[in-house]
A = this chain, B = another copy of it.
Amino acid sequence: MATIYEVSKLAGVSLATVSRVMNNNANVSDATRKKVTAAMDELGYRPNSIAQSLASNCSNSVGLLVSELQGPFYGPMMSGIENTFRNQGKHLIIAAGHSDEEREKQGIEFLISRNCDGLILHVEAVSDDYLIKLSKGRTPFVLINRYISELSDRCILLNNINGGYLAAKHVLEQGHKNIAYISGPLWKQDAKDRLEGHKQALAEFNLEFDENLLFQGDFMEASGYEGLKALHQQTHPFTALICANDEMAVGAMASARDLGLTLPKQLSIMGYDNVFFTRHVYPQLSTVNYPINEMGRMAADWVLSHVYQKQTPPLQTLFEPELVIRHSISRQ
């Protein structure tokens, strides 16, 4: 690989001049610019961005930490972020945290040590304190789907309480009185919030939340399957099941079928997230829309604005969920 030195020699100019035409910031005469670019072409020169970033302390790349690289939820998020950055010449370095404290920390440290100019974090396991401490460091970051009051201006959130409320209210309005609930892991804030909204709606309808009808899942399909099976075995009856996300809802649907329940007649099921396949399951799943792609874009805009001082559309920090009514809820 040719270096800047060889280019400068071939073009008959100094290193600094070559650097200047690369970053076209300073004054370079047209004639020498031509000479230099010609030399670059001839040598097939590509700047070593590692060296650039060491010397300039700016890497034009931002770090993204997600829990998983796969799944219908993270895909649109990564995609929204990447799309926003691509047009601005910023690159993405992605690491996975797997909802594990140690791995999340490792990921964050890797991204920082790679000279990322900014970070977008979707972290779950790491503590508030850790993040607050991190915020004193030199690498700015924005948080998706996590609220820390000390860092509230950089938390991009969905109103999950409202989302849980919306879902339950819809089911209640269809006449259901006994509603089972498969939650996410209750140590996660979003899982807690969704359940809280659920309870609020129940209270509004003067219904009590029945702990027997709660199953704590882990946001994955299998736990939806297991959850419904378990709920079905206990004695308290229910006509509807609300799941804290779509993947568990889909697992529950499979379970329902194995249990011989016809959907939605014998059991209404409600999801959350509105991931793309919910339109395609049978019956089409009613759910709550999580505008994760937009939230990803917003996080990217935050970085563009705070790290690179770019003009962006106005920043928004709280997003609202929306009810998506399809065919998985029957009228009672």
Interface residues of A (CB under 8 A from B): 1, 46-51, 53-54, 59, 61, 68-72, 74-76, 78-79, 82, 86, 91-96, 103, 109-110, 112-115, 137-138, 250, 253-254, 277, 279-282
Contact = CB atoms under 8 A, between A and B. Distances in A.
Contacts of A282: 280-282
Contacts of A112: 46
Q: Which of A79, A109, A114, A279 has the most CB of B within 10 A?
A: A114
Given A253-B280, A282-B281, A48 B78 contact: no
A79 B75 contact: no
A219 B267 CA distance: 35
A138 B1 contact: yes
Given A50-B115, A59-B50, A115-B50, A79 B72 contact: no
28 contacts: A1-B138, A46-B112, A48-B115, A49-B113, A49-B114, A50-B54, A50-B59, A50-B115, A51-B54, A68-B79, A69-B75, A69-B78, A69-B79, A70-B76, A70-B78, A71-B75, A72-B72, A72-B75, A72-B277, A74-B75, A91-B95, A94-B94, A250-B277, A253-B280, A254-B279, A277-B277, A277-B280, A280-B282
A47 B110 CA distance: 10
Contact of A79 (B51, B70, B277): B70
A78 B115 CA distance: 23
Nearest to A250: B280
A264 to B, nearest CB: 13
A44 B86 CA distance: 34
Nearest to A64: B94
Contacts of A70: 75-76, 78-79
Contacts of A48: 54, 113, 115
A23 to B, nearest CB: 15
Nearest to A114: B49
A82 B54 contact: no
A103 B86 CA distance: 9
Nearest to A275: B277
A47 B254 CA distance: 49
